[in-house]
Amino acid sequence: MRFHKQTHRQTRKEVSPVMALTLRSTVPQPNHAMRLMVVLLTGVLVAGVAVAVLCGGHADALQAAGAFKGEEIGGVAHFVEKLKGNLVWFGGTAMGLVVAVVGIMFMAGHSRAHDVAIKTIAGLLILASISGIVA
């Protein structure tokens, strides 16, 4: 009787590189350009407030001299009136379309129809009060 030594081929299992998991903040850190933008905007705001505070007395002097008395410029007033009319027309047309779409959503049984309807009503309220906001 013969015994054969069985040789099993051993297969190598390659192990992939292991990476260490670290906890990171989910809030993205602002880069250098963003920080610079914030600093510049803050500087402009501070400068604007400083000019308004320092020139407050000069505005009174100009008003006493009659600089702000008079009528508005006719062409500019006409342009603003036309612009307001066009914006109201555009807003009314857009809201009509939105109301139609929300109605279709309700008829189709969409799950977010109520949410969209509430936002539409809020938009209609803003549109109705736009003349008071502009004035």
- DSSP sequence for 109-120: T-TTHHHHHHHH
Tokens of 111: 């799950």
SS3 15: coil
What pLDDT was estimated at residue 104?
A: 93
**What mean pLDDT do residues 92-97 have?**
84
Distances in Å between the Cα of 127 and the Cα atoms of 44, 102, 115 are 32, 17, 19
pLDDT digit string (tens) for 22-49? 666 666 666 777 778 888 888 888 887 7
- What residues have CB less than 8 Å from 3, skipping those under 6 apart? none
**What mean pLDDT do residues 89-110 have?**
88
Does residue 42 or residue 19 have the better pLDDT? Answer: 42
Report the predicted TM-score, pTM, of the whole model to 2 decimal places.
0.38
Count how many Cα atoms sit within 13 Å of the Cα of residue 18 in the half-sphere of its side chain. Answer: 2
Q: Are 82 and 117 in contact (CB under 8 A)?
A: no
Categorize the per-residue pLDDT at 56 as very low, low, confident or very high, splitting at 50, 70 and 90: low
* Domain ranges for the chain: 33-70, 73-135
Percent of the chain with pLDDT over 90: 7
**What mean pLDDT do residues 81-94 have?**
86
Tokens of 105: 């959503």
CA 58 to chain CA centroid, nearest Å = 37
Separation between Cα atoms, residue 54 and residue 59, nearest integer Å: 10
- What residues have CB less than 8 Å from 92, skipping those under 6 apart? 127
Q: Are 101 and 54 in contact (CB under 8 A)?
A: no
Mean pLDDT of the chain: 76
